[in-house]
Structure 1
Amino acid sequence: MASIIRPALLRQTALAASTRRAAGVSTSLAQQSVRSAVLKGSARCAAFHTSSRRSLLPPGPQVIKGGVNDPAPVPETSPSHGSYHWVFDRAIAAGLVPLTVAPFAAGSLNPTFDALLCAFLLIHSHTGFQNIIVDYIPAIRYQKSRKAAMWLLNLATVTVGIGLYEFETNDVGLTEAIKRVWKA
Protein backbone atom coordinates (compact mmCIF):
# COMPACT_ATOMS: atom_id res chain seq x y z
CA MET A 1 0.00 0.00 0.00
CA ALA A 2 2.86 2.36 0.79
CA SER A 3 4.36 2.03 -2.68
CA ILE A 4 1.05 3.06 -4.27
CA ILE A 5 0.72 6.14 -2.11
CA ARG A 6 4.37 7.25 -2.19
CA PRO A 7 4.46 8.74 -5.72
CA ALA A 8 1.28 10.68 -5.06
CA LEU A 9 2.69 12.10 -1.83
CA LEU A 10 5.90 13.11 -3.55
CA ARG A 11 3.98 14.88 -6.29
CA GLN A 12 1.91 16.72 -3.67
CA THR A 13 5.09 17.76 -1.85
CA ALA A 14 6.56 19.10 -5.08
CA LEU A 15 3.32 20.94 -5.89
CA ALA A 16 3.20 22.47 -2.42
CA ALA A 17 6.83 23.61 -2.65
CA SER A 18 6.27 25.21 -6.04
CA THR A 19 3.14 27.07 -4.83
CA ARG A 20 5.05 28.34 -1.76
CA ARG A 21 7.83 29.63 -4.00
CA ALA A 22 5.31 31.31 -6.25
CA ALA A 23 3.62 32.90 -3.23
CA GLY A 24 6.94 34.19 -1.91
CA VAL A 25 7.09 32.01 1.20
CA SER A 26 10.74 31.30 1.99
CA THR A 27 11.91 27.92 3.15
CA SER A 28 15.24 27.06 4.67
CA LEU A 29 18.09 25.84 2.49
CA ALA A 30 18.21 22.50 4.33
CA GLN A 31 14.50 21.85 3.67
CA GLN A 32 14.92 22.67 0.00
CA SER A 33 17.90 20.31 -0.38
CA VAL A 34 16.02 17.48 1.36
CA ARG A 35 12.99 18.00 -0.88
CA SER A 36 15.08 18.15 -4.03
CA ALA A 37 16.92 14.95 -3.05
CA VAL A 38 13.60 13.18 -2.43
CA LEU A 39 12.17 14.41 -5.73
CA LYS A 40 15.27 13.40 -7.70
CA GLY A 41 15.02 9.89 -6.26
CA SER A 42 11.31 9.73 -7.06
CA ALA A 43 11.86 10.59 -10.71
CA ARG A 44 13.96 7.45 -11.13
CA CYS A 45 11.43 5.12 -9.47
CA ALA A 46 8.45 3.81 -11.35
CA ALA A 47 5.05 3.39 -9.79
CA PHE A 48 4.65 0.02 -8.03
CA HIS A 49 8.42 -0.51 -7.99
CA THR A 50 11.03 0.30 -5.40
CA SER A 51 14.09 0.02 -7.61
CA SER A 52 15.20 2.48 -10.21
CA ARG A 53 14.81 1.86 -13.93
CA ARG A 54 17.99 0.91 -15.73
CA SER A 55 18.30 0.00 -19.34
CA LEU A 56 20.25 -3.20 -19.94
CA LEU A 57 21.88 -2.08 -23.17
CA PRO A 58 22.59 1.46 -24.23
CA PRO A 59 20.66 2.56 -27.29
CA GLY A 60 22.40 1.96 -30.57
CA PRO A 61 23.66 4.74 -32.80
CA GLN A 62 20.82 6.87 -34.10
CA VAL A 63 21.71 7.60 -37.71
CA ILE A 64 19.23 8.87 -40.25
CA LYS A 65 20.27 8.35 -43.87
CA GLY A 66 18.56 10.33 -46.60
CA GLY A 67 15.50 12.54 -46.38
CA VAL A 68 11.79 12.13 -45.86
CA ASN A 69 10.96 11.59 -49.51
CA ASP A 70 13.77 9.14 -50.29
CA PRO A 71 12.61 5.59 -51.09
CA ALA A 72 13.37 2.80 -48.68
CA PRO A 73 16.47 0.81 -49.69
CA VAL A 74 15.74 -2.63 -51.11
CA PRO A 75 18.33 -5.21 -50.01
CA GLU A 76 20.09 -7.42 -52.54
CA THR A 77 18.36 -10.74 -53.10
CA SER A 78 20.28 -13.85 -52.15
CA PRO A 79 19.23 -17.51 -52.52
CA SER A 80 21.09 -18.46 -49.35
CA HIS A 81 18.74 -16.40 -47.19
CA GLY A 82 15.02 -16.36 -46.68
CA SER A 83 12.90 -19.32 -47.70
CA TYR A 84 15.77 -21.54 -48.85
CA HIS A 85 17.49 -21.04 -45.53
CA TRP A 86 14.27 -21.86 -43.66
CA VAL A 87 13.69 -25.02 -45.74
CA PHE A 88 17.28 -26.14 -45.11
CA ASP A 89 16.85 -25.63 -41.33
CA ARG A 90 13.64 -27.67 -41.33
CA ALA A 91 15.17 -30.46 -43.44
CA ILE A 92 18.08 -30.78 -41.00
CA ALA A 93 15.69 -30.80 -38.03
CA ALA A 94 13.49 -33.44 -39.66
CA GLY A 95 16.56 -35.53 -40.53
CA LEU A 96 17.59 -35.59 -36.88
CA VAL A 97 14.53 -37.62 -35.89
CA PRO A 98 15.35 -40.86 -37.77
CA LEU A 99 19.09 -40.44 -37.12
CA THR A 100 18.44 -40.26 -33.39
CA VAL A 101 16.17 -43.30 -33.28
CA ALA A 102 17.83 -45.56 -35.92
CA PRO A 103 20.94 -46.72 -33.98
CA PHE A 104 18.87 -47.69 -30.95
CA ALA A 105 15.98 -49.28 -32.89
CA ALA A 106 18.28 -51.36 -35.14
CA GLY A 107 20.13 -52.79 -32.16
CA SER A 108 23.56 -52.40 -33.70
CA LEU A 109 25.80 -49.42 -33.41
CA ASN A 110 26.91 -48.20 -36.79
CA PRO A 111 29.74 -45.64 -37.05
CA THR A 112 28.18 -44.18 -40.20
CA PHE A 113 24.92 -43.39 -38.39
CA ASP A 114 26.95 -42.01 -35.51
CA ALA A 115 28.95 -39.71 -37.79
CA LEU A 116 25.79 -38.55 -39.58
CA LEU A 117 24.10 -37.86 -36.25
CA CYS A 118 27.08 -35.78 -35.07
CA ALA A 119 27.20 -33.85 -38.36
CA PHE A 120 23.47 -33.13 -38.33
CA LEU A 121 23.59 -32.03 -34.67
CA LEU A 122 26.51 -29.73 -35.42
CA ILE A 123 24.84 -28.18 -38.49
CA HIS A 124 21.51 -27.85 -36.66
CA SER A 125 23.16 -26.09 -33.71
CA HIS A 126 25.22 -23.81 -35.95
CA THR A 127 22.26 -22.66 -38.06
CA GLY A 128 20.10 -22.20 -34.96
CA PHE A 129 22.65 -19.95 -33.25
CA GLN A 130 23.25 -18.15 -36.53
CA ASN A 131 19.52 -17.38 -36.74
CA ILE A 132 19.61 -16.02 -33.20
CA ILE A 133 22.53 -13.72 -34.07
CA VAL A 134 20.81 -12.51 -37.25
CA ASP A 135 17.57 -11.81 -35.35
CA TYR A 136 19.00 -10.07 -32.29
CA ILE A 137 22.12 -8.28 -33.54
CA PRO A 138 21.04 -6.12 -36.50
CA ALA A 139 23.79 -5.53 -39.05
CA ILE A 140 22.68 -1.96 -39.71
CA ARG A 141 23.21 -0.81 -36.12
CA TYR A 142 25.88 -3.16 -34.73
CA GLN A 143 28.18 -4.10 -37.61
CA LYS A 144 31.24 -4.89 -35.50
CA SER A 145 29.31 -6.76 -32.81
CA ARG A 146 27.53 -8.90 -35.38
CA LYS A 147 30.77 -9.72 -37.19
CA ALA A 148 32.43 -10.64 -33.88
CA ALA A 149 29.46 -12.82 -32.89
CA MET A 150 29.55 -14.62 -36.24
CA TRP A 151 33.29 -15.26 -35.94
CA LEU A 152 32.80 -16.50 -32.38
CA LEU A 153 30.04 -18.83 -33.57
CA ASN A 154 32.25 -20.17 -36.38
CA LEU A 155 35.11 -20.73 -33.93
CA ALA A 156 32.79 -22.55 -31.50
CA THR A 157 31.39 -24.70 -34.32
CA VAL A 158 34.87 -25.73 -35.48
CA THR A 159 35.92 -26.47 -31.88
CA VAL A 160 32.85 -28.62 -31.22
CA GLY A 161 33.32 -30.37 -34.58
CA ILE A 162 36.90 -31.28 -33.69
CA GLY A 163 35.74 -32.46 -30.26
CA LEU A 164 33.01 -34.64 -31.76
CA TYR A 165 35.47 -36.10 -34.27
CA GLU A 166 37.91 -36.97 -31.48
CA PHE A 167 35.07 -38.46 -29.42
CA GLU A 168 33.94 -40.57 -32.38
CA THR A 169 37.38 -41.85 -33.40
CA ASN A 170 39.22 -42.19 -30.07
CA ASP A 171 36.38 -42.98 -27.68
CA VAL A 172 33.09 -44.91 -27.65
CA GLY A 173 31.08 -42.58 -29.88
CA LEU A 174 27.92 -40.57 -29.33
CA THR A 175 25.26 -43.28 -29.48
CA GLU A 176 27.24 -45.65 -27.23
CA ALA A 177 27.76 -42.80 -24.75
CA ILE A 178 24.03 -42.10 -24.75
CA LYS A 179 23.33 -45.80 -24.26
CA ARG A 180 25.74 -45.97 -21.30
CA VAL A 181 24.31 -42.85 -19.67
CA TRP A 182 20.78 -44.18 -20.15
CA LYS A 183 21.60 -47.47 -18.42
CA ALA A 184 23.65 -45.91 -15.59
Structure 2
Amino acid sequence: MVSIARSALLRQTGAAGPIARPSVIAHGVRATAFHTTAQKSLLAPPPQRIEGSVNDPAPVPETSPSHGSYHWTFDRVVAASLIPLTVAPFAAGSLNPTLDAILASTLLIHSHTGFQNIVIDYIPKKRMPGIRRLFVWGLNAATAVIGLALYEFETTDVGLVETIKRIWRA
Protein backbone atom coordinates (compact mmCIF):
# COMPACT_ATOMS: atom_id res chain seq x y z
CA MET A 1 0.00 0.00 0.00
CA VAL A 2 2.84 2.36 0.83
CA SER A 3 4.53 1.74 -2.54
CA ILE A 4 1.34 2.61 -4.44
CA ALA A 5 0.89 5.84 -2.50
CA ARG A 6 4.56 6.69 -2.93
CA SER A 7 4.55 6.24 -6.71
CA ALA A 8 1.33 8.29 -7.00
CA LEU A 9 2.92 11.03 -4.89
CA LEU A 10 6.04 11.00 -7.06
CA ARG A 11 3.95 11.30 -10.24
CA GLN A 12 2.03 14.25 -8.79
CA THR A 13 5.15 16.12 -7.73
CA GLY A 14 6.99 15.40 -10.96
CA ALA A 15 9.88 13.73 -9.17
CA ALA A 16 9.40 10.43 -10.93
CA GLY A 17 12.07 11.37 -13.48
CA PRO A 18 15.44 9.72 -13.96
CA ILE A 19 16.36 10.02 -10.28
CA ALA A 20 13.55 7.72 -9.13
CA ARG A 21 14.34 4.91 -11.58
CA PRO A 22 15.57 1.70 -10.05
CA SER A 23 19.16 0.63 -10.43
CA VAL A 24 20.18 -1.91 -13.05
CA ILE A 25 22.59 -4.75 -12.37
CA ALA A 26 24.77 -5.44 -15.40
CA HIS A 27 27.85 -7.66 -15.27
CA GLY A 28 27.71 -7.71 -11.48
CA VAL A 29 27.93 -3.91 -11.21
CA ARG A 30 25.05 -1.86 -9.87
CA ALA A 31 24.48 1.36 -11.82
CA THR A 32 21.60 3.73 -12.25
CA ALA A 33 19.48 3.40 -15.37
CA PHE A 34 20.10 6.97 -16.47
CA HIS A 35 23.28 8.97 -15.96
CA THR A 36 22.89 12.73 -16.04
CA THR A 37 26.53 13.59 -16.75
CA ALA A 38 29.09 12.09 -19.05
CA GLN A 39 32.67 11.73 -17.93
CA LYS A 40 34.75 13.68 -20.45
CA SER A 41 38.29 14.89 -20.10
CA LEU A 42 39.02 18.18 -21.88
CA LEU A 43 42.78 17.69 -21.78
CA ALA A 44 44.71 14.47 -21.59
CA PRO A 45 46.63 14.03 -18.33
CA PRO A 46 50.34 14.92 -18.47
CA PRO A 47 52.85 12.09 -18.85
CA GLN A 48 53.36 10.22 -15.63
CA ARG A 49 56.07 7.91 -14.41
CA ILE A 50 56.38 6.06 -11.16
CA GLU A 51 59.73 6.06 -9.44
CA GLY A 52 60.38 4.01 -6.35
CA SER A 53 57.70 2.32 -4.30
CA VAL A 54 54.99 3.25 -1.85
CA ASN A 55 57.31 2.69 1.07
CA ASP A 56 59.93 5.24 -0.04
CA PRO A 57 60.01 8.42 2.04
CA ALA A 58 58.94 11.71 0.50
CA PRO A 59 61.91 13.66 -0.85
CA VAL A 60 62.94 16.67 1.20
CA PRO A 61 63.57 19.71 -1.00
CA GLU A 62 66.84 21.58 -0.71
CA THR A 63 66.68 24.56 1.60
CA SER A 64 67.22 27.94 0.04
CA PRO A 65 66.53 31.25 1.79
CA SER A 66 66.01 33.05 -1.51
CA HIS A 67 63.09 30.75 -2.40
CA GLY A 68 61.60 30.55 1.05
CA SER A 69 60.37 33.23 3.36
CA TYR A 70 62.57 35.93 1.77
CA HIS A 71 60.87 35.35 -1.56
CA TRP A 72 57.42 35.61 0.06
CA THR A 73 58.44 38.74 1.98
CA PHE A 74 59.81 40.34 -1.19
CA ASP A 75 56.52 39.66 -3.00
CA ARG A 76 54.54 41.26 -0.15
CA VAL A 77 56.82 44.33 0.01
CA VAL A 78 56.51 44.89 -3.75
CA ALA A 79 52.72 44.49 -3.60
CA ALA A 80 52.41 46.85 -0.63
CA SER A 81 54.67 49.45 -2.26
CA LEU A 82 52.35 49.63 -5.27
CA ILE A 83 49.64 51.30 -3.18
CA PRO A 84 51.47 54.57 -2.44
CA LEU A 85 53.22 54.52 -5.82
CA THR A 86 49.86 54.34 -7.58
CA VAL A 87 48.10 56.97 -5.48
CA ALA A 88 50.93 59.54 -5.11
CA PRO A 89 51.21 60.79 -8.73
CA PHE A 90 47.45 61.26 -9.05
CA ALA A 91 47.00 62.87 -5.63
CA ALA A 92 49.99 65.22 -5.86
CA GLY A 93 49.43 66.05 -9.51
CA SER A 94 53.13 65.88 -10.30
CA LEU A 95 54.58 64.43 -13.47
CA ASN A 96 57.89 63.38 -11.96
CA PRO A 97 59.61 61.04 -14.45
CA THR A 98 61.56 59.31 -11.65
CA LEU A 99 58.37 58.44 -9.77
CA ASP A 100 56.81 57.30 -13.03
CA ALA A 101 59.79 55.04 -13.79
CA ILE A 102 59.69 53.56 -10.26
CA LEU A 103 55.97 52.83 -10.67
CA ALA A 104 56.51 51.16 -14.05
CA SER A 105 59.42 49.03 -12.82
CA THR A 106 57.54 48.00 -9.67
CA LEU A 107 54.53 46.97 -11.76
CA LEU A 108 56.85 44.95 -14.01
CA ILE A 109 58.53 43.21 -11.05
CA HIS A 110 55.17 42.52 -9.40
CA SER A 111 53.76 40.98 -12.60
CA HIS A 112 56.90 38.91 -13.23
CA THR A 113 57.02 37.42 -9.73
CA GLY A 114 53.27 36.72 -9.82
CA PHE A 115 53.48 34.80 -13.09
CA GLN A 116 56.66 33.10 -11.88
CA ASN A 117 54.75 31.83 -8.83
CA ILE A 118 52.01 30.49 -11.12
CA VAL A 119 54.57 28.60 -13.24
CA ILE A 120 56.28 27.19 -10.14
CA ASP A 121 53.00 26.10 -8.55
CA TYR A 122 51.20 24.60 -11.53
CA ILE A 123 53.93 23.14 -13.74
CA PRO A 124 55.84 20.53 -11.72
CA LYS A 125 59.53 20.30 -12.50
CA LYS A 126 59.68 16.55 -11.93
CA ARG A 127 56.81 15.59 -14.27
CA MET A 128 57.16 18.20 -17.03
CA PRO A 129 60.70 19.61 -17.03
CA GLY A 130 60.70 20.63 -20.71
CA ILE A 131 57.37 22.44 -20.55
CA ARG A 132 58.37 24.21 -17.35
CA ARG A 133 61.67 25.34 -18.88
CA LEU A 134 59.75 26.64 -21.91
CA PHE A 135 57.35 28.62 -19.72
CA VAL A 136 60.18 30.06 -17.59
CA TRP A 137 62.10 31.20 -20.67
CA GLY A 138 58.91 32.56 -22.21
CA LEU A 139 58.14 34.51 -19.04
CA ASN A 140 61.67 35.92 -18.92
CA ALA A 141 61.50 36.92 -22.59
CA ALA A 142 58.08 38.55 -22.15
CA THR A 143 59.32 40.45 -19.09
CA ALA A 144 62.36 41.71 -21.00
CA VAL A 145 60.26 42.82 -23.99
CA ILE A 146 57.69 44.57 -21.78
CA GLY A 147 60.50 46.20 -19.77
CA LEU A 148 62.05 47.53 -22.96
CA ALA A 149 58.63 48.75 -24.15
CA LEU A 150 57.99 50.52 -20.83
CA TYR A 151 61.44 52.14 -21.00
CA GLU A 152 60.76 53.41 -24.51
CA PHE A 153 57.32 54.61 -23.47
CA GLU A 154 58.75 56.47 -20.46
CA THR A 155 61.62 58.12 -22.33
CA THR A 156 60.09 58.98 -25.71
CA ASP A 157 56.40 59.47 -24.89
CA VAL A 158 54.33 61.07 -22.11
CA GLY A 159 54.79 58.28 -19.56
CA LEU A 160 52.57 55.87 -17.69
CA VAL A 161 50.85 58.23 -15.25
CA GLU A 162 50.04 60.88 -17.87
CA THR A 163 48.64 58.19 -20.19
CA ILE A 164 46.38 56.89 -17.44
CA LYS A 165 45.22 60.46 -16.72
CA ARG A 166 44.42 61.03 -20.40
CA ILE A 167 42.51 57.74 -20.67
CA TRP A 168 40.59 58.55 -17.51
CA ARG A 169 39.53 61.97 -18.86
CA ALA A 170 38.60 60.67 -22.32
2:121 aligned residue = 135
1:119 to partner: Cα distance: 0.3
Q: How does 1:23-172 map to 2 (within 5 A)?
A: 47-49=35-37, 52-172=38-158
| Structure holding more helix per residue | 1
**Structure 2: distance between partners of 1:132 and 1:79:** 19
Q: Per the alignment, in what secondary structure is the counterpart of residue 80 of structure 1?
A: helix
1:162 to partner: Cα distance: 0.8
| Structure holding more strand per residue | 2
RMSD: 2.7
**CA deviation string 1:122-169 (max 9, x = no partner):** 000000011111111111111111110111111111111111111111
1:43 aligned residue = none
Of the structure 1 ranges 70-79 and 57-66, higher mean CA displacement relative to structure 2 is found in 57-66
Q: Per the alignment, in what secondary structure is the counterpart of residue 132 of structure 2?
A: helix
**Structure 2: distance between partners of 1:135 and 1:96:** 24
* TM-score when normalising by structure 1: 0.73
**Structure 2: distance between partners of 1:176 and 1:112:** 13
Counterpart residue type for residue 155 of structure 1: A
Counterpart residue type for residue 137 of structure 2: W
**Structure 2: distance between partners of 1:121 and 1:62:** 37
**Structure 2: distance between partners of 1:65 and 1:147:** 22
In the alignment, structure 2 segments of 5+ residues that lack a partner are: 1-13, 28-33
Of the structure 1 ranges 58-67 and 90-99, higher mean CA displacement relative to structure 2 is found in 58-67
* TM-score when normalising by structure 2: 0.78
How many residue pairs get matched?
Answer: 153
1:80 to partner: Cα distance: 1.6
Amino-acid identity (%): 61
Q: Per the alignment, in what secondary structure is the counterpart of residue 86 of structure 1?
A: helix
**Structure 2: distance between partners of 1:63 and 1:175:** 51
1:47 to partner: Cα distance: 2.6
1:68 to partner: Cα distance: 3.5
**Structure 1: distance between partners of 2:68 and 2:140:** 20
In the alignment, structure 1 segments of 5+ residues that lack a partner are: 19-45
**Structure 2: distance between partners of 1:156 and 1:164:** 12
Q: Per the alignment, in what secondary structure is the counterpart of residue 54 of structure 1?
A: coil
